[in-house]
Structure 1
Amino acid sequence: PPKSPQNPGRLEFSVEMSCQGCADAVRAALDAVKLLELRPQEQSVLVETTAAAERVQELLENSGCRAVLKGMGAPPGGAAVAALGGPGGVRGLLRFLQLSPGRCIVDGAVTGLPPGPHGLHIHEFGDLSDPCDSCGGHFNPDGETHGGPQDEHRHAGDLGNIWADAEGHARFRIEDSKLKVWDIIGRSVVVAEGEDDLGRGSHPLSRVTGNSGRGLACGVVARAAGLFQNPKRVCSCDGVTLWEERDRSRGASPGTPMETPMETPSPHL
């Protein structure tokens, strides 16, 4: 896929460190990542990176410690999260971080996809009653035609393509100039079955949807915590710790790192 300049974002993780040896292992695991804070007593790690959050979490858990993303950035525009699912078994988790009015980071991981490119779009409605078919058209407050993420004239919800590898995993970090977190809360994110032609094809739907086909997976965008906005370690609704929730949401045995993203965001987000 084409590359574009990336600006670093800050990620806050809770990491299950119980001794100085754990902290040393975490520090070593983050050798290639800019580590801003490591506080073993608070079980807190703060990094600045252009890598996807799932990749940083994988590095942290390679240390042998369980890790959970607690917050992203510290911008006035806030942060959001969307858990994706679909009838075909596609699952994913996307996070949105508004760095400034003209800079929104979309950080995500999706699994269960057919290998190759897939269109990624914000849709107008958060209605999942008929899975992805009830999400409406692409989010388009300015009445533009469909285009690519680098085009001046395009839908605000046009995020281009993500690429799935041979195992069906897509991990990505997109920086978008039109998307604004405060405009998409309650709307939906949809991963399409095919490649988005970015409005450059000859098909009648090229300037409408990028001729990318039906949605394979979708989810509603909800508010998420920023940096240091979520200190809780026990869910007030059921008394489950964030470590237990991490394992339960992934279907893993305690302490087991996962190679695929979570199916649903944990309550602490």
Structure 2
Amino acid sequence: MEELGSSRALSKFEFAVQMTCEKCAHAVKNVLQDVKGVKEFSINMDSKSVLVETTLLAEEVHRLLETTGRKAVLKGMGTIKSKNLGAAVAMMSGEGPIQGVVRFIQASENTCIIEGTLDGLSPGLHGIHVHEFGDISNGCESCGEHYNPHRNSHGGPGEDNRHVGDLGNIFAEDNGRASFRLVDERLKVYEIIGRSLVVDEREDDLGHGGHQLSKTTGNSGRRLACGIIARSAGLFENNKQLCTCDGITIWEERNYPIAGPGRNTQLQSPPANL
């Protein structure tokens, strides 16, 4: 079977899965046990949870789980370590239809896993960077410059002389979707919570182009989408079963937008697939 994930660094995802009997658990086991990129998994019927140790994207594991016909919700993420070193998430939005989710997991003191999916991009490469401010009051323009605490020149992943926030490029397919998994040795989750993540119009030249902007921004054009980086639940830190503000279960919440007017509007009439 083809391996879906794109990095050897392992992370763990905790999913709530709508399992009601042993037959459900057996179905989950069948879809996970022979997948390359899934190292280990465990199923707990009492808590209706599935813990997956993997190199796959959370989106890929989520899709596998839901091929069983059961709803699944990501509840927490972390690493193979017993101690959670930090996790964060950025809800991305921008020009036109661009939207998506990017997650950060501190796998070790020197390894941060960044994974996400964005839709609505033009096909090809797009620069992606952590910026210094978690301010989107004026769209992506108020996010400040690249996060660069050491005052280095712009560069790319794996280079010594780079902004800490320089994460390189992500690739959007012809359908406008970019699904990616990056592993970075400079980024620390605890340093970037409250800052922002920005995706740019064009490919980042990683500081190696001849343009005058190469050493500062990578000459990657306008800022297309951004999101504030917020702390996310680590493994076993999210016991939520009911959203107290809306009175809906996690299974219902899965079908609604995270926030905004669309959430309240849709809550008035349940989705057809419930």
TM-score of the two chains, using structure 1 as the length reference:
0.90
User: Which residue is 1:18 aligned to?
Assistant: 20
Q: Which of the two has higher C-alpha Rg? A: 2
Quote the offset at 1:253 in angstroms.
Answer: 3.9
SS of the aligned residue for 2:169 comes to: strand
Matched, 1:215 2:223: yes
SS of the aligned residue for 1:207 comes to: coil
SS of the aligned residue for 2:255 comes to: helix
Superposition pairs of residues 20-169 of structure 1, within 5 angstroms: 20-31=22-33, 32=35, 33-74=38-79, 75-169=83-177
Q: For residues 230-262 of structure 1, give each alpha carbon's deviation from its aligned partner in whole angstroms, at most 9, with x where no partner exists.
A: 11111122221111111112886436xxxxxxx
Structure 2 residue aligned with 1:184, among 181, 185, 192?
192
Equivalent residues of 2:6, 2:55 under 8 A apart: no
Unaligned runs of 5+ in 1: 256-269
Q: 1:4 to 1:234 in 2, by over 3 A?
A: closer
SS of the aligned residue for 2:137 comes to: coil
Let me know the Cα RMSD of the aligned residues. Answer: 1.7
Q: 1:196 to 1:253 in 2, by over 3 A?
A: farther
User: Which residue is 2:273 aligned to?
Assistant: 254
Equivalent residues of 2:143, 2:196 under 8 A apart: yes
Q: For residues 163-190 of structure 1, give each alpha carbon's deviation from its aligned partner in whole angstroms, at most 9, with x where no partner exists.
A: 0111111111111001001111110000
| Structure 1: distance between partners of 2:150 and 2:30 | 48
SS of the aligned residue for 2:19 comes to: coil
| Deviates further, 4-13 or 177-186 | 4-13
Quote the offset at 1:192 in angstroms.
Answer: 0.6
Matched, 1:202 2:210: yes
User: Which residue is 2:263 aligned to?
Assistant: none
Q: Percent identity?
A: 53
Equivalent residues of 1:6, 1:175 under 8 A apart: no
Quote the offset at 1:76 in angstroms.
Answer: 4.2
Q: 1:5 to 1:22 in 2, by over 3 A?
A: closer
TM-score of the two chains, using structure 2 as the length reference:
0.88
User: Which residue is 1:262 aligned to?
Assistant: none
Quote the offset at 1:101 in angstroms.
Answer: 2.0
Equivalent residues of 2:7, 2:182 under 8 A apart: no
Equivalent residues of 1:115, 1:168 under 8 A apart: yes
Quote the offset at 1:27 in angstroms.
Answer: 1.2
| Structure 2: distance between partners of 1:5 and 1:145 | 27
Indicate the structure whose relative CO is greater, using CA pairs within 8 Å and at least 6 residues apart: 1
Quote the offset at 1:4 in angstroms.
Answer: 7.9
Give the aligned residue type for 1:12: E
